[in-house]
Structure 1
Amino acid sequence: MGYTKPDEGWWKEFVGALPARTGKLAVVRKDGSPHVVPVWVDVDGDELVFMTGKDTVKGKAIIRDGRIAICFDDERPPFDFVTVFGTASVSEDPDTMLHWGTRIAARYMGEDLAAQYGKRNAVPGELLVRVRVDKVIGARNVAD
């Protein structure tokens, strides 16, 4: 089994598929230790978008050092995964956060709850995170 750069169409389709897969975000803490947490993610062209609190471990880490990795996987045989490596930038623009917070919530919670979650997440103290994708690795049918 080789871990190679998946074709662009496949990895974006995999990450953007419904039902939505939770990404596992990896950042580096200030002391150099790893920190991995689940995040809700959407694809916007060649970038990934998610939200987090400004004062969380992941928010502080992204502000300090924008390098991140996010892994997505299909836990059903024959198993697929994609890991995206990139550089994150943040925004606190309320209108942008509301748009993306609602869109991301629709993917994970459904259209009926999207506006509620969008409003809850588009508040002071939250960050919209955009990830410029630098590298993608992944594999399909890992168990084959």
Structure 2
Amino acid sequence: MTSWQPGWADFPPTLLEFWTERHLCTLTTLRADGSPHVVPVGVALDAEQRCAWVITNGSSRKAHQAAADGRVAACQVEGRRWSTLEGVAEVRSDEESVTRAMERYAARYRAPRPNPLRVALRIEVDRFLVSSGLV
């Protein structure tokens, strides 16, 4: 395992490719008692804005927990390759942020279905944990 802090200007091509290929992820937030809450999500890395995005319903548990604590981890795995990003999430409901998150999500996965209650979790990435060979 390797830990890598984002140097967005010199992002390792293999790690960037892994975070742009279609892989489902898990998002871990913390409950009020400190225990982890892990759910499947799509995570879209945004190298241009130097963050990662998750789209969700504004009333979801993950949105409430991200708003309360902020610390999150998102992980994806494919065979022996895996990577986890860690950072602080901010819940955003403004049209610009939600649109950006939906565009990034659509580029990696597919166009999301309409949801008038959608919010975006904007994750300021502190570091990546990666399997060997990705950096």
Answering whether residue 72 of structure 2 is matched by residue 74 of structure 1, we say: no
Alignment RMSD, CA only? 2.0
Q: How does 1:102-117 map to 2 (within 5 A)?
A: 102-109=103-110, 114=111, 117=112
Q: Secondary structure at the match of 1:5?
A: strand
Q: Which runs of 5+ in 2 are unaligned?
A: 5-9
TM-score by length of 1: 0.76
TM-score by length of 2: 0.81
Q: Secondary structure at the match of 2:2?
A: coil
The alpha carbon displacement at 1:126 in A equals 2.2
The alpha carbon displacement at 1:71 in A equals 0.6
Post-superposition Cα deviations, 1:40-65, rounded to whole Å, max 9, x if no partner, equal 12111121111112221111100001
Contact residue 3 and residue 130 of structure 2 kept, 8 A: yes
Rg comparison, structure with higher value: 1
Tell me the percent identity: 31
The alpha carbon displacement at 1:5 in A equals 2.1
Q: How does 1:25-44 map to 2 (within 5 A)?
A: 25-44=27-46
Distance in structure 1 (CA, Å) of the matches to 2:2 and 2:104: 30
Q: Which has the higher strand share?
A: 2
- Higher RCO (CA-CA < 8 Å; seq separation 6+): 2
* Aligned counterpart for 2:17 among listed residues 8, 13, 19: 13
Post-superposition Cα deviations, 1:112-136, rounded to whole Å, max 9, x if no partner, equal xx2xx25x13x2x321111111011
User: Paired residues, what number?
Assistant: 125
Distance in structure 2 (CA, Å) of the matches to 1:57 and 1:101: 19
Distance in structure 2 (CA, Å) of the matches to 1:138 and 1:50: 20
Answering whether residue 66 of structure 2 is matched by residue 62 of structure 1, we say: yes
